[in-house]
Amino acid sequence: MATYKIDPAHTEINFKIKHLMITNVTGSFTKFDGTMESEKDDFTDAKIHFEADTDSITTHNEQRDTHLKSADFFDAAQFPKVTFDSTSIEKKGDDYKLNGNLTMHGITKPVILDVELGGVTTDPWGQSKAGFEITGKINRKDFGLIWNTPLETGGLMLGDEVKLQIGVQLIKQA
């Protein structure tokens, strides 16, 4: 069984959400950890665990970030982690469908993520690495993140759909 750990220096956990119905706000988590265990070289038997610290959320706007950490959204004091645990992975041509349980704000729901294998290589220091691009969509309301406010022009300040864009580099452990 090979075990891989996230290389935090070469991994990005990003999301996008509609703001004012006209543009997207992009955010990320800066503190996270994860492992993947797999016996097969094509990763079709991979077991994945991931977690991010909700207090590490950033949208590069201090006032907004404070609001996102509050009870209106992530409630970082009560729910310090977002976690993902895989349940299965299916190879679809060169890509994968990753099924798993996402837990956020104390609520666990199944999600399906699209995964593209960027490749496997050895870095200049002899470490075996695997790279993946992961995308998906979730509805924030499914996880109890329901805060919103109506706009004078109609519509709502925030969209419900959150687009996930994750670039992961994993280091094979000795």
CATH of the domain at 141: 2.40.128.110
Q: What is the pTM of this model?
A: 0.91
Query: Which segments of the chain are extended strands (E)?
Result: 2-6, 12-19, 23-29, 32-38, 47-53, 57-58, 81-92, 95-104, 107-122, 128-139, 158-172
pLDDT of residue 154: 74
Residue 41 has pLDDT above 90, yes or no: no
pLDDT tens figures, 113-157? 999 999 999 999 999 999 999 999 999 889 987 777 766 777 656
> For residue 164, what are the domain limits?
2-172
Domain count, the chain: 1
pLDDT tens figures, 71-103? 988 899 999 999 999 999 999 888 999 999 999
CA distance 141 to 119: 35
pLDDT of residue 33: 97
